[in-house]
Structure 1
């Protein structure tokens, strides 16, 4: 009889985290801080500041507000907004311990998420359903779990996994609530096992487990061989849904070449249309999930930053949006989700800026932090402090103080 899938996964989690993975985790920490900084003065940010006295917990409401959180393509989820609050939630933990916790949280969340299929993605919000695993693994790492403890805690976290996409049909804060719920649930699952709780290690593949309940054709757990899955995560340069990024990218390439002219014909994969075919956005959230608005932003000479998706921008770009048509290209769909691609006015990009094939580096992520910090009302000095602490620092208390200042 083969081992349960969670028992196999936890052997990976129990490995030492290497120096290169810790450095990679620092980049994702800075990227998460950028998202937190930019979302401070939002409805979600104000709610987050009201729910808790703990800065890591308040930050759970901020990491995905701007739609600029990191993303894993084949797992179709955003690890950063869930994993980092959990990794930051033990005040006594050192920076190194938090970086290791993040690497393990990303590993669990992505490895399990990659086994879920298109049926799952059509109904369930993977960042929520898989987020409980990421938060659980991260906090378990802080506690110092042995493999059996990881397995028990992940089993209990998975037993209550959920999060429906229906919230996409309303202008609500449910997506942020999903993150909060995943962080708290995963963290509590680890804490309870620390005090003696046990959990079902077959919760994924069992007859009444998650695969049976949430998928039609489950796949294998993801692995990066001797490496870690955090190395395969993409960064998002623009303030829109990731499904809109390929069209933004192609439009920007055309604009740079002086060839972006109306009318604008966008061809892309089916999920991009399912999530982002919104020719007449009404709210900021609508605009972030609108291919039509995304291309209009670029055509207007803008940089696809948060201010380009506000209600003022929606009004100003109505004429350009009306000149954008969108359609599915079956060939682009066939390459998805291994490749997020689009074609705009004949120019096709197979991979999108920020993906491993077209990576952004430290320079670009630092620039993103400065841009979003300014949008969130922070000073240049405050932004520089975050860069220093995230990329080079070893003062965990100073990082906690920064979060306290940013989220209160």
Structure 2
């Protein structure tokens, strides 16, 4: 299986990509540019950047929205870490029949592709081809894995790491054998625990970032002759054996390989865990249709599945040690923000916002009840009861962002990008416009550095 994947990766070029795949790659890159900007100075990002610099490194690739270049593995790591900060990056691994599974692929693959392409002075087409290949393999692994978000492993450093290794290998010019070795090397560095989220710690950002760093290291070492297991994906003690349970379907990995390119299928409209989005969207339906005064809200009842209510997003809200994480992974907090502000963005993922007396009073009026059927995991219903007796009800069957079922418009995607740039105070509007324009013509770039320079 690993041989088949490696042969496909080495043989594929830009001409193999269809127009739909190219357009999706561009959208994910632009979304990533904005999300990285929003998170560039989020909690512990500056500290990680200083730590990586302290080791000393060759100035190979840009740490985005900072003035310095560092080594490519470290650049990919800090950019990925920043991108994960507000849980705002593209999500959900697509597979056949427009199905999808829980994943956060782009947060690793885009930073890895940009770092490796800059170091290699790759063209826009080479960059896009490598990114499409890595996204596709990661998405296929996501579907084939049978991953369960409550199962323990965090797949942001399992499928992400292997997909990113494909990218690093492609942009590094690896042979089939070298790429096989690179995947074998990366197998030794896969891991990550969902307890990072269960305990609401900032370490939830780390698996995705480690996946980016380790992928480049694996490709670089394999290029120098390092050998590893010959079937990292489906060997006797390969990826499927080590990380996947009874629901795994390894045959999906190579099904129609080269005929269709998968990737993340959701562009997030809200900076919060996807499991909070159905309730956010239901709240949005109400506050956008009615003139809701948060001070006059008597109570809010949010209906979810029993599993969601008992999971990490369904717990009573506490600001906790890391407010940013507590807020992004809370149905109660994000619903309160949606009702109070008609949006859920990074601006409210901080202690100051959470300690606002008006918001705290609203939070105390919200309860979660596990009344929905178990198979309605991406569904929520919301009842808002007002002090004057008025009651408003809304149901969300498909949360906003899925490119097939409930897509964000091109205008909404651009608006998200510009709002993230404005929040970060990293670029002028003029330079932000130039990023948008450059991403729109990625296939024309003779050197990806033209885009990179705009993000420094």
Q: Which of the five TM-score ranges fits, normalised by the shorter chain?
A: 0.7 to 0.9
How far off is 1:121 after superposition?
4.6
SS at match of 2:311: helix
For residues 10-25 of structure 1, what are the structure 2 equivalents within 5 Å?
Answer: 10=6, 12-13=8-9, 14-16=11-13, 17-20=16-19, 21-25=21-25
Match of 1:55 in 2: 62
Asked if the contact 2:313/2:329 (under 8 Å) is kept, the reply is: yes
| Matched residue, 1:286 | 326
> Within 5 Å, which residues of 2 pair with 1:217-296?
217=246, 218-220=248-250, 221=252, 225=256, 226-230=259-263, 233-258=265-290, 262-269=298-305, 270-271=307-308, 273-282=310-319, 283-296=323-336
Comparing 351-360 with 186-195, greater Cα deviation is found at 186-195
User: Structure 1 residue 252: deviation in Å?
Assistant: 0.6
- Kindly name which structure, 1 or 2, has the bigger radius of gyration based on alpha carbons: 2
For 1:105 and 1:257, how far apart are their aligned partners in 2? Answer: 42
How far, CA to CA, are the matches of 2:245 and 2:353 in structure 1? Answer: 41
Asked if structure 1 preserves the Cα contact closer than 8 Å seen for 2:25 and 2:132, the reply is yes
Deviation, structure 1 residue 120: 6.8
Cα displacement (A) at 1:223? 6.8
- TM-score for both structures, normalised by structure 2: 0.79
Q: Aligned ranges for residues 230-379 of structure 1 at < 5 Å?
A: 230=263, 233-258=265-290, 262-269=298-305, 270-271=307-308, 273-282=310-319, 283-316=323-356, 317-329=359-371, 331=373, 333-336=374-377, 340-345=378-383, 346-356=393-403, 357-378=405-426, 379=428
- The 3 A distance-change label for structure 1 pair 375 and 350 is same
Matches within 5 A, 1:24-173: 24-50=24-50, 51-52=52-53, 53=59, 54-56=61-63, 57=75, 58-72=78-92, 74-90=100-116, 91=118, 92-118=121-147, 121-170=150-199, 172-173=201-202
Sort the Cα spacing of 1:48 and 1:22 in 2 relative to 1 into closer, same or farther, 3 A: farther
Contact 2:6/2:179, CA 8 A, preserved across alignment: yes
Q: Distance in 1 between matches of 2:5 and 2:372?
A: 34
Q: Is the 8 A contact 1:278 1:289 kept in 2?
A: no
Distance 1:278 1:229, change over 3 A: same
- Provide the aligned C-alpha RMSD in A: 2.5
How much does 1:322 deviate?
1.7
SS in structure 1 at match of 2:401: coil
> Among 441, 445, 451, which residue is 1:392 paired with?
441
What SS does structure 1 have at the residue aligned with 2:367?
strand
CA distance in structure 1 between the partners assigned to 2:366 and 2:273 by the alignment: 17
CA distance in 2, matches of 1:397, 1:214: 37
Deviates more, 1:53-62 or 1:101-110: 53-62
**Could you tell me how far apart the structure 1 residues matched to 2:309 and 2:165 are?**
30
> Which stretch shifts more, 320-329 or 91-100?
320-329
Unaligned runs of 5+ in 2: 54-58, 64-74, 94-99, 384-392
Cα distance in 2 for residues equivalent to 1:223 and 1:302: 43
Q: Distance in 2 between matches of 1:19 and 1:117?
A: 28
Tell me which residue corresponds to 2:211. Answer: 182
For 2:213 and 2:106, locate their aligned partners in 1 and report how far apart those are by CA, in whole Å. Answer: 15
CA shift, 1:86, in A, is 1.3
Give the superposition deviation at 1:147.
4.2
CA distance in 2, matches of 1:33, 1:86: 13
Cα 1:75–1:204 shift into 2, 3 Å: farther
Corresponding residue for 2:223?
194
- TM-aligned CA distance change 1:273 to 1:402, over 3 Å: farther
- Deviation of 1:75 (Å): 3.4
Count the aligned residue pairs: 395
Aligned twin of 2:453: 401
Q: 1:95, 1:358 → 2: CA distance?
A: 30
